Structure 1
Amino acid sequence: MQLYYSPTSPFVRKIMVLLHETGQLEDVEKLPTSGTPLAPAKGLPAHNPLGKVPALARDGAPTLYDSRVICQFLDDRARASLYGEGESKWSNLVVEATADGIVDAALLMVYERRLRPDDKQFHDYIESQWHKVEQAVEALDQKWLSNLSGPLSIGQIAVGCALGYLDFRHDARGWRKNAGGLDDWYAKFSERPSMKATIPAG
């Protein structure tokens, strides 16, 4: 299998953490790929028509794309049960979706600043995206800490990578100020070897 990836993508990091945690890291060849929404990486649309990473190419089978699809495939492949069963499964999927929503909003903030000239940037739009981040962080802190404190799950991995991305790109905004419980949880979770091995740089 070949993983088309960017080392700074929080969606890629989610997959990399899962690979570490499930012992599948050596089964995947990592192919660095870089691009922007305005200029997708050359050749990437052949694997993902949306022109986005991550994409997981498989021998004799369709390429998988979107981190949630790839994570479910790898979890199933390793029989790791990171999604759980019954009500636990739905809780984990909601937590994963909340974390991915944080990343979506945080990425849009980055793109607005990087891809538009200064005089064309829509600052109210940037602030509206950060408001989504704050609401989602508050929800995780107030409603989902018990889920995050259970056995390792896809929800925990997704939240860990989302909060790591906030530290990486939006540290000055201080997501922790109204989320003390989530901050404590993240401090412990970020000490996992899989998280330390995948810290973004650049």
Structure 2
Amino acid sequence: MPVLRSSPASPFGRKAKIAAAVLGLSDRITVEMTDLNDPNDTIRKQNPLGKIPALVLDDGKVLYDSRVIVEYLDHLAGGGKVLPQGPSRFDVLTLQALANGIMDASILQVYEARYRPEERRDLDWLAYQADKVRRGLAALEATPPATMADGEIPDAGQIALACALGYLDLRFEGTWRTEHPRLVAWLAAFEAAVPSYDQTRFKP
């Protein structure tokens, strides 16, 4: 059975877990805790970058990053499920890229505070990352993605965005919500339609 190397708080790992759930593949994957700070953790051999998520297949081959894993899961489910075919595919991929970028910039801010003493933190660099998040949220607030119709599963872009907003709730106390009411409403609708969103929520 493939093994998903991840950690409970990782928004990228959460994206892979939600994709597996909505595709009906959760029971075909084992999730294994990964400690990126442990030099003896096998993640550094499985993924030379030492990053999560990584999906270890039955034959030992390892897939990474989350974009590749989600595409592989979609392939296992028959294709065209969370990554549609045709012109709409590129809208989904673009939304996924934007949401992934928001997650990347958010994680870099967290790491700066976590791994650097306060006197060594680069405030200009932190502001640079925060501005990526601000611009991304502003663009999405102006044109929120579509909500799902009854019985419809989310696409990869919608899953990624929900995970990005969830990470902002977790690490930045949900401060994004005040200025983005349309995204707040969108996320509430997503959560109501996708049970695995709450099931994969990290609760410290």
TM-score, structure 1 normalization: 0.92
Corresponding position of 2:28: 27
Supply the distance in 2 between the matched residues of 1:41 and 1:16 (Cα, whole angstroms): 25
Distance verdict in 2 for CA 1:55–1:17, change over 3 Å: same
Whether 1:69 and 2:68 are equivalent positions in the alignment is yes
Contact 1:40–1:52, Cα closer than 8 Å, also in 2: no
Supply the distance in 1 between the matched residues of 2:198 and 2:76 (Cα, whole angstroms): 24
Please report how far the alpha carbon of residue 125 of structure 1 lies from its aligned counterpart in structure 2 after TM superposition: 1.5
Farther off after superposition, 151-160 or 62-71:
151-160
Corresponding position of 1:186: 187
Supply the distance in 1 between the matched residues of 2:101 and 2:40 (Cα, whole angstroms): 23
Contact 1:137–1:179, Cα closer than 8 Å, also in 2: yes
Corresponding position of 1:46: 45
Please report how far the alpha carbon of residue 79 of structure 1 lies from its aligned counterpart in structure 2 after TM superposition: 2.0
Q: Secondary structure at the residue paired with 1:145?
A: coil
Corresponding position of 2:7: 6
Match of 1:200 among 177, 182, 202: 202
Please report how far the alpha carbon of residue 138 of structure 1 lies from its aligned counterpart in structure 2 after TM superposition: 1.1
For residues 70-85 of structure 1, what are the structure 2 equivalents within 5 Å? 70-79=69-78, 81-85=81-85
Whether 1:142 and 2:142 are equivalent positions in the alignment is yes
Distance verdict in 2 for CA 1:171–1:40, change over 3 Å: farther
Contact 2:145–2:158, Cα closer than 8 Å, also in 1: no
Please report how far the alpha carbon of residue 165 of structure 1 lies from its aligned counterpart in structure 2 after TM superposition: 0.3
Q: Secondary structure at the residue paired with 2:83?
A: coil
Farther off after superposition, 150-159 or 128-137:
150-159
Distance verdict in 2 for CA 1:144–1:87, change over 3 Å: farther
Q: Secondary structure at the residue paired with 2:35?
A: coil
Corresponding position of 2:86: 86
Distance verdict in 2 for CA 1:41–1:179, change over 3 Å: farther
Distance verdict in 2 for CA 1:95–1:178, change over 3 Å: same
Please report how far the alpha carbon of residue 60 of structure 1 lies from its aligned counterpart in structure 2 after TM superposition: 1.9
> Which runs of no fewer than 5 residues in structure 1 stay unpaired?
none
Q: Secondary structure at the residue paired with 1:131?
A: helix
| CA offset digits 1:18-53 (Å, max 9, x no partner) | 1111111111111101124xx656221211000011
Q: Secondary structure at the residue paired with 1:56?
A: strand
Distance verdict in 2 for CA 1:92–1:169, change over 3 Å: same
> Which runs of no fewer than 5 residues in structure 2 stay unpaired?
none
Supply the distance in 1 between the matched residues of 2:131 and 2:39 (Cα, whole angstroms): 28
Contact 1:95–1:144, Cα closer than 8 Å, also in 2: no
- Percent identical among aligned pairs is 37
Contact 1:41–1:51, Cα closer than 8 Å, also in 2: no
**Which residue identity does 2:115 align to in structure 1?**
L
Contact 1:34–1:41, Cα closer than 8 Å, also in 2: no
Supply the distance in 2 between the matched residues of 1:62 and 1:200 (Cα, whole angstroms): 28
Q: Secondary structure at the residue paired with 2:55?
A: strand
TM-score, structure 2 normalization: 0.91
For residues 53-64 of structure 1, what are the structure 2 equivalents within 5 Å? 53-60=52-59, 62-64=61-63
Supply the distance in 2 between the matched residues of 1:188 and 1:41 (Cα, whole angstroms): 41
Supply the distance in 2 between the matched residues of 1:8 and 1:40 (Cα, whole angstroms): 19
Aligned residues: 198
Supply the distance in 1 between the matched residues of 2:133 and 2:145 (Cα, whole angstroms): 17
**Which residue identity does 2:15 align to in structure 1?**
K
